[in-house]
Amino acid sequence: MAHHPEALEQLIEAFRLFPGIGLKTAQRLSFYLLGRPREEVVSIARAMVEAKDRLRFCSNCGCLTEADPCTFCTDPRRDRSLICVVQEARDVFILEQTGQYRGLYHVLHGALSPLDGIGPEELHLEKLVRRVEEGEVKELIMATNPNVEGDATAAYIARLMKPYAVKVTRIAFGLPVGGDLEYTDELTLGRALEGRREL
């Protein structure tokens, strides 16, 4: 990359930080950005910093939110007897897009993965137990990823919940095995919700 001006080099490097963005794409995005009006560039930059500053995790369910507790936890129209347990905050928004789920959420912020040194302590589990202990919850739907880590996490939580009067279910394997919740289309995910079975 001889002769790239320094500011351009830095912009390209900034884009390359993102997952799945290689050198060619980073160059393409950089040149596109440079061709836009200054106000637009500033507004994109501002959207990034503002999102980082304004968004936090709900102290109750772990969802990404601007207000704490989040709009899911405070919404009186949602079914408080159902909690859908997911690995990441982004999964919540994908589930919302199915339009089929009206319960609450709980974000674990990870999945059990002994090889990566992620045990139960690393997950947002204590709070989940406390939410169940409060007694309002009748069912926990495990919507962790359809892979080894997600399955292990779901099984672990099912065991953890044995002492409580709560049903633990797993979303159905309409999901492509080995895939990632993030890349699933809404229809498949909707079917998977419908077909959930008790663990």
Q: Is 92 left (phi over 0), alpha (psi -120 to 50) or beta?
A: alpha
Helices (H) and strands (E) in the chain, counts: 8, 7
Q: Which residue, 25 or 113, is less far from a copy of itself as judged by CB?
A: 25
In the bound complex, what is the minimum distance in angstroms from residue 120's beta carbon to a copy of itself? 21
Residue for token digits 């836009």? 36
Report the distance separating Cα 164 and Cα 133, nearest Å.
Answer: 7
Q: How far is CA 8 from the centre of its chain?
A: 33
Number of residues lying near a copy of itself (CB under 8 A): 58
Query: Is 130 one of the binding residues for a copy of itself (CB under 8 A)?
Result: no
Q: How far is CA 144 from the centre of its chain?
A: 10
Q: What is the largest CA-CA distance in the chain?
A: 67
Query: Is 33 one of the binding residues for a copy of itself (CB under 8 A)?
Result: yes
The strand pair at 56-57 and 197-198 is best described as unpaired
Query: Is 49 one of the binding residues for a copy of itself (CB under 8 A)?
Result: yes
Window 92-111: residues binding a copy of itself (CB under 8 A): 93, 96-97, 99
Stretch that binds a copy of itself, among 86-94, 116-124, 146-154, 169-177 (CB under 8 A): 86-94
Query: Is 162 one of the binding residues for a copy of itself (CB under 8 A)?
Result: no
Q: Which residue, 73 or 166, is less far from a copy of itself as judged by CB?
A: 73
Instruction: Report whether 142 contacts 198 (CB < 8 A).
Output: no
Query: Is 68 one of the binding residues for a copy of itself (CB under 8 A)?
Result: no
Window 175-194: residues binding a copy of itself (CB under 8 A): 182-183
Query: Is 20 one of the binding residues for a copy of itself (CB under 8 A)?
Result: yes
Token pair belonging to 84: 């859908």
Query: Is 10 one of the binding residues for a copy of itself (CB under 8 A)?
Result: yes
Closest by CA position to 167, among listed 144, 140, 194, 143: 140
* Residues at the interface with a copy of itself (CB under 8 A): 1-8, 10-11, 13-14, 17-20, 24-25, 27-34, 36, 38, 40-55, 64-66, 71-72, 88-90, 93, 96-97, 99, 182-183
